[in-house]
């Protein structure tokens, strides 16, 4: 019986990973659309976005 529970736990984990992958894809799509719109409307440049991303990466990276 313990073996069956283990298999069901693995199936559940695989389902959670698939859901997470879908969520990351949708969030990436939204971020891309928003940045493209801001650039298209000339509210921000690609360089400014890249600079901010680099700055945030440095701040969030633990040494």
Residue 53 has pLDDT above 60, yes or no: yes
Predicted pLDDT of residue 24:
98
Length of the chain: 63
CB under 8 A, 24+ apart: contacts of 18-25: none
**Beta-strand runs (E) in 1-63:** none
pTM of the model as a whole: 0.71
Task: Give per-residue pLDDT as tens, 21-52.
Answer: 999 999 999 999 999 999 999 999 999 999 99
What dihedral do alpha carbons 50, 54, 59, 61 form, nearest 10°? 130
């Amino acid at each position: 019986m313990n073996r069956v529970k283990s298999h069901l736990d693995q199936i559940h984990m695989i389902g959670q990973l698939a859901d997470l992958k879908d969520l990351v894809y949708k969030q990436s799509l939204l971020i891309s659309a928003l940045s493209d719109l801001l650039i298209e409307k000339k509210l921000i440049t690609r360089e400014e976005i890249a600079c901010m991303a680099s700055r945030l990466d440095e701040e969030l990276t633990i040494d």
